[in-house]
A and B are shown apart, each in its own frame.
Chain A
Amino acid sequence: MLFFIGKRIFQSLPTLVAVSLLSFLLIRLIPGDPVLLMLGERGGSPQAVAELRSKLGLDQPLYSQYFTFIGNALRGDLGLSITSKTSVWSEFVERFPATVELSLVALIWAVVVGIPLGIWAAIKRRQWIDHALMSISLVGYSMPIFWWGLMLILIFSVKLGWTPVSGRISALYDVEPWSGFLFVDVWVRGMGWPAWVEVLRHMLLPALVLGTIPVAAIARMTRSSLLEVLREDYVRTAKAKGLSFYKIIFVHALRNALMPVVTVIGLMLGTLLTGAVLTETLFSWPGVGRWMVASVLARDYPVLQGGVLLLSVVISALNIAVDVIYLFLNPRLRGRLR
């Protein structure tokens, strides 16, 4: 097992190098000079521009800038944000829990809703429920997130006043960070139920919006995978043995049908962690997605390079974790490993 994990880590190294190089180059292809942006509309003399460029190391040749970045990154130093002058690592650590918390809640709701819907659609194959569920999931899959989020805000926050418009908790609460996960922190700080409910109220709409596409994807994947398994010989055997319909589905078929769904969920978590850009922007969610967007606008090279690298490490780790879980779920693969 350890050998397998080691091998997978080794295999992901070229990906990380490629990602770091690509992100490094792509950022520099975006028009806009961070030095000029920093000096702003009032501007500075050409001398001030040159001085600042040299101070940030941006006057060095590209290859030298890249090797400096990689060298420092290997030593654990991702540099300082150009705009805030604080370390990229500390900014990432400050924001990442917000993104993880949102992604996990979105994923939980996607799994809890998506899998039963997929099973229901498979059971009712070619009946109107199946058609309706699959049509709804197609709509969910193709929903423009920004529009969907804004509609939900208009209905639930503005018209009905049931949920807050944005943020992680009401501005009236001052939560001193402990783990970064607000559901935990409000308890640790002894703020009690009202604060916890506040966190939940703030979480509802962003998680609903972020989980919309995963719900649809998981439902569709569960349905097709279950339908495939239901055609297998052992299901026919089970039927012939006279097992009950529910026992066939939930004990025999579903366990095997969920294999590809687990892969989808694992990959989905990666997408959620990195793809919360729109949701985080819309709901002013102080996570990694919004951080990256702000850095693109400010041409904050160190944050973009460091942020992309850290996220790709997270996604590689998730992929490895999914592979390991797969091994546990599928004994045949474990056998092959031996």
Chain B
Amino acid sequence: MKISLLLLTLSFCFPVFAEKTFVYCSEASPSSFNPQMAEDGPTFNASSQMLFNRLAAFEPGGTKVIPGLAERWEVSKDGKIYTFHLRKNVTFHTTDAFTPTRPLNADDVIFSFERALKAEHPFHKVNGGVYPYYVSMNMANQIKQIKKLDDQTVQFILNEPEAPFLANVAMSFAVIHSKEYADQLLRGKTPEKIDTEPVGTGPFVLTRYVKDNMIRYQAHPTYFEGRSKLDKVVFAITPDSSVRFQKLKAGECHLISEPSPQDLKAMGVHPKINLLSQPGANVGYLAFNVEKKPLDKIEVRQAIAHALNRENYLKVVYQGTASLATNPVPPTVWGFAAQTKGPEYKPERAKELLKKIGLDKGFELELWTLPVSRPYNPNGKKMGELMQADLAKVGIRVKLVTYDWPTYLAKMRAGEHQLLQIGWTTDNGDPDNFLGTLLSCAAVTGGSNVARWCDREFDNLVTRARAITDIKVRSSSYVKAQKRFLEKTPWVPIAHATVFRGVAKNVMGYQISPLGTEDFYPIDIK
């Protein structure tokens, strides 16, 4: 009794603060405070969205490209020259170590891109010198030159026309640093601080970081879009998803990242929590390695597609939190071929197709099951077992195989698999980010086309669309490409997972981004 009284008394000692502090329970520590050097969600959320801006941005809750640090831009007729006009009077953060003397200008843009692109740049090798997105998106070969036309105008000259370029520079990695700060650090012989004590133009200023514990920010008072309604933001790093949910329930966080599917039901009925959802811009799929026999035969691929009861996977594996995928592009992304229908569940048709090519007596295949839980496939093993049972009904004996995640990825890129579960979440909402990145001929050598499928007709459609800036014309090309994809069946698209977030009811203005990033600038607390 005495103990409970003591605890009760202590519980009333909860602090009362006049400032508006927003607490976000995140899942992991950021790997860096420079998003140029990262590729993971926790880093992008903690750095790119909070501390920095990009030339262009995505509309809140959507994938449409809108002005960022550049208030407008022009694209040359040949699609090779992008001229960005920068906003005036965009201020960088003032910190204990740095006080800016000038607003953002073209030098900052050139500095930021050249750091990542040019090996001889004085900052290129600082803090490891690995720029995963610049590498995987082949930016060094894409950008021929970056020119300063005047203080507020910067021009990007590309080697080839690249329609997704605008969406690319809106992505989390393409942030703009302060050249003035970099010069100061270089003079002080502490260049490494550029990534650990970051200075950006973003809505919040970093005030403290304790790895695996918390990140603290305060509002940037002279943010170019106006000071945030929040005074402070705290990222409380809480790796366990069930603990995050308990903290949300106890009012210790306003928002939690990546809620566990098991908690969604309870979250939906909790009186203090709003369960928000949005169709994700992602796809989970089963890829066929078309270089391996008998998957080189289109009949075998189609037979497998007809043998899989995908509706059942949605119920069992995704527990109703995903929609059936009809093709590689999700319906939330423009250029989605709404008229196309995915493969239907018809085991008899599958048997017929196999009989047609003399494989009706059955054969063996290896199926690699996803070793990690991802929104696009929360339980690869379970899905593998269901697929194994479905394929056994049409005479295909499946052996389930898996590896630890890095090995899985490495072997996948080397093309060692036959059937493979994998998925993709778009970074920029451009259909090319699905069709080009995952299915073009160039992506076979790059390793991201895991079906290793190179179809000239499909490839021409996608490559041509990349060179056109008119969205309508591009869309029609992508629709044709998706039809071609379904005819040739290099994968079986399975699901587009819905993205969920648990938010305290006193939070206003929060929107889920289909791209998986978190933007706290529009938020207010009641």
The 8 Å CB contact of A32, one of B15, B130, B406, is B406
Q: A84-B211, A157-B250, A291-B212 are in contact. Are A171 and B132 (CB under 8 A)?
A: no
Chain B residues whose CB sits within 8 angstroms of the CB of A63 once the complex forms:
none
Q: In the complex the two chains form, is B211's CB within 8 Å of A166's CB?
A: no
Q: In the complex the two chains form, is A171's CB within 8 Å of B10's CB?
A: no
The 8 Å CB contact of A171, one of B23, B136, B404, is B23
With both beta carbons as reference points, the residue of chain B lying nearest to A175 in the complex is identified as B208
With both beta carbons as reference points, the residue of chain A lying nearest to B445 in the complex is identified as A45
A314 CB–B CB distance under 8 Å: no
B40 CB–A CB distance under 8 Å: yes
Most buried by A among B4, B13, B237: B13
With both beta carbons as reference points, the residue of chain A lying nearest to B235 in the complex is identified as A171
Q: In the complex the two chains form, is A194's CB within 8 Å of B15's CB?
A: yes
Q: A31-B407, A32-B405, A170-B252 are in contact. Are A40 and B132 (CB under 8 A)?
A: yes
Docked pose: A52 CA to B11 CA in angstroms: 50
Q: In the complex the two chains form, is A43's CB within 8 Å of B240's CB?
A: no
B506 CB–A CB distance under 8 Å: no
Chain A residues whose CB sits within 8 angstroms of the CB of B15 once the complex forms:
170, 172-173, 194-195, 198
Docked pose: A95 CA to B127 CA in angstroms: 22
Chain B residues whose CB sits within 8 angstroms of the CB of A52 once the complex forms:
130
Docked pose: A37 CA to B410 CA in angstroms: 10
With both beta carbons as reference points, the residue of chain B lying nearest to A49 in the complex is identified as B410
A320 CB–B CB distance under 8 Å: no
The 8 Å CB contact of B250, one of A161, A197, A282, is A161
Q: In the complex the two chains form, is B407's CB within 8 Å of A45's CB?
A: no
Interface string of A161-177 (1 = CB under 8 A from B): 11111111011111011
The 8 Å CB contact of B13, one of A48, A160, A197, A291, is A197
Q: In the complex the two chains form, is A43's CB within 8 Å of B403's CB?
A: no
A15 CB–B CB distance under 8 Å: no
Q: In the complex the two chains form, is A158's CB within 8 Å of B249's CB?
A: yes
Interface on chain A toward B: helix, strand, loop, or mixed SS?
loop
Stretch at the interface among A19-27, A148-156, A231-239: A148-156
Q: In the complex the two chains form, is B136's CB within 8 Å of A37's CB?
A: no
Chain B residues whose CB sits within 8 angstroms of the CB of A161 once the complex forms:
11, 250
B357 CB–A CB distance under 8 Å: no
Chain B residues whose CB sits within 8 angstroms of the CB of A195 once the complex forms:
15
Chain A residues whose CB sits within 8 angstroms of the CB of B240 once the complex forms:
281-282, 284
Chain A residues whose CB sits within 8 angstroms of the CB of B8 once the complex forms:
162
B35 CB–A CB distance under 8 Å: no
Tell me the residues in window 373-426 of chain B with beta carbons closer than 8 Å to chain A beta carbons: 403-407, 409-410, 413
Chain B residues whose CB sits within 8 angstroms of the CB of A162 once the complex forms:
4, 7-8, 10-11
Q: A85-B127, A284-B236 are in contact. Are A153 and B246 (CB under 8 A)?
A: yes
B216 CB–A CB distance under 8 Å: yes
Tell me the residues in window 405-461 of chain B with beta carbons closer than 8 Å to chain A beta carbons: 405-407, 409-410, 413, 446-448
Q: A157-B246, A291-B212 are in contact. Are A194 and B136 (CB under 8 A)?
A: no
Chain A residues whose CB sits within 8 angstroms of the CB of B405 once the complex forms:
32, 37
Chain A residues whose CB sits within 8 angstroms of the CB of B210 once the complex forms:
94, 177, 286
Chain A residues whose CB sits within 8 angstroms of the CB of B410 once the complex forms:
33, 36
Interface string of B232-246 (1 = CB under 8 A from A): 001011111011001
The 8 Å CB contact of A174, one of B207, B239, B247, is B207
**A292 CB, min distance to chain B CBs, angstroms:** 11
Chain B residues whose CB sits within 8 angstroms of the CB of A172 once the complex forms:
15, 17, 21, 23, 234
B291 CB–A CB distance under 8 Å: no
Q: In the complex the two chains form, is B29's CB within 8 Å of A84's CB?
A: yes
With both beta carbons as reference points, the residue of chain A lying nearest to B136 in the complex is identified as A42
Q: In the complex the two chains form, is B238's CB within 8 Å of A284's CB?
A: yes
**B517 CB, min distance to chain A CBs, angstroms:** 15
With both beta carbons as reference points, the residue of chain B lying nearest to A156 in the complex is identified as B7
With both beta carbons as reference points, the residue of chain B lying nearest to A157 in the complex is identified as B250
Chain A residues whose CB sits within 8 angstroms of the CB of B40 once the complex forms:
40
With both beta carbons as reference points, the residue of chain A lying nearest to B30 in the complex is identified as A84
Q: A42-B133, A85-B128, A171-B236 are in contact. Are A36 and B409 (CB under 8 A)?
A: yes
With both beta carbons as reference points, the residue of chain A lying nearest to B424 in the complex is identified as A41
Q: In the complex the two chains form, is B127's CB within 8 Å of A286's CB?
A: no
Chain B residues whose CB sits within 8 angstroms of the CB of A84 once the complex forms:
29, 31-32, 211
The 8 Å CB contact of B135, one of A48, A168, A201, is A48
How many residues belonging to B are interface residues under a CB distance threshold of 8 Å? 61
Docked pose: A153 CA to B243 CA in angstroms: 9
Tell me the residues in window 298-348 of chain B with beta carbons closer than 8 Å to chain A beta carbons: none
**A161 CB, min distance to chain B CBs, angstroms:** 6
Q: In the complex the two chains form, is B13's CB within 8 Å of A86's CB?
A: no
The 8 Å CB contact of B11, one of A153, A194, A201, A283, is A201
**B370 CB, min distance to chain A CBs, angstroms:** 11
Tell me the residues in window 81-104 of chain A with beta carbons closer than 8 Å to chain B beta carbons: 83-86, 91, 94-95
A220 CB–B CB distance under 8 Å: no
With both beta carbons as reference points, the residue of chain B lying nearest to A33 in the complex is identified as B406
Docked pose: A42 CA to B236 CA in angstroms: 27
With both beta carbons as reference points, the residue of chain A lying nearest to B425 in the complex is identified as A41
Most buried by B among A43, A201, A282: A43
Q: In the complex the two chains form, is B212's CB within 8 Å of A43's CB?
A: no
B89 CB–A CB distance under 8 Å: no
Docked pose: A55 CA to B127 CA in angstroms: 11
B197 CB–A CB distance under 8 Å: no
Q: In the complex the two chains form, is B406's CB within 8 Å of A37's CB?
A: yes
Chain B residues whose CB sits within 8 angstroms of the CB of A194 once the complex forms:
13, 15
Q: In the complex the two chains form, is B242's CB within 8 Å of A284's CB?
A: no
B196 CB–A CB distance under 8 Å: yes
With both beta carbons as reference points, the residue of chain B lying nearest to A168 in the complex is identified as B213
Most buried by B among A94, A172, A286: A172
**B488 CB, min distance to chain A CBs, angstroms:** 25
**A193 CB, min distance to chain B CBs, angstroms:** 8
Docked pose: A84 CA to B213 CA in angstroms: 14
Docked pose: A170 CA to B15 CA in angstroms: 8
Tell me the residues in window 41-73 of chain A with beta carbons closer than 8 Å to chain B beta carbons: 41-45, 48, 52, 55
Q: In the complex the two chains form, is B407's CB within 8 Å of A44's CB?
A: no
Q: A281-B239, A282-B240 are in contact. Are A32 and B404 (CB under 8 A)?
A: yes
Most buried by A among B7, B40, B407: B7
**A147 CB, min distance to chain B CBs, angstroms:** 12
Chain B residues whose CB sits within 8 angstroms of the CB of A91 once the complex forms:
211
**B464 CB, min distance to chain A CBs, angstroms:** 25
A18 CB–B CB distance under 8 Å: no
Chain B residues whose CB sits within 8 angstroms of the CB of A40 once the complex forms:
39-40, 132
**A46 CB, min distance to chain B CBs, angstroms:** 9
Chain B residues whose CB sits within 8 angstroms of the CB of A55 once the complex forms:
128-129
Q: In the complex the two chains form, is B135's CB within 8 Å of A174's CB?
A: no
Q: In the complex the two chains form, is A165's CB within 8 Å of B250's CB?
A: yes
Tell me the residues in window 103-148 of chain B with beta carbons closer than 8 Å to chain A beta carbons: 127-130, 132-133, 135-136
With both beta carbons as reference points, the residue of chain A lying nearest to B374 in the complex is identified as A41
Docked pose: A173 CA to B252 CA in angstroms: 12
Q: In the complex the two chains form, is B246's CB within 8 Å of A290's CB?
A: no
**B173 CB, min distance to chain A CBs, angstroms:** 10
With both beta carbons as reference points, the residue of chain A lying nearest to B246 in the complex is identified as A165
What are the 6 tightest A-B residue pairs by CB atom distance, in nearest-first order? A286-B213, A36-B406, A162-B7, A31-B404, A171-B234, A42-B136
Given contacts A36-B410, A39-B39, 10 further A-B contacts (CB under 8 A): A32-B406, A39-B130, A39-B132, A40-B40, A153-B243, A160-B7, A163-B10, A167-B238, A170-B15, A284-B237
What are some 10 contacts across the A-B interface (CB < 8 A)? A31-B403, A32-B405, A33-B410, A36-B406, A85-B32, A162-B10, A170-B252, A173-B15, A198-B15, A286-B210
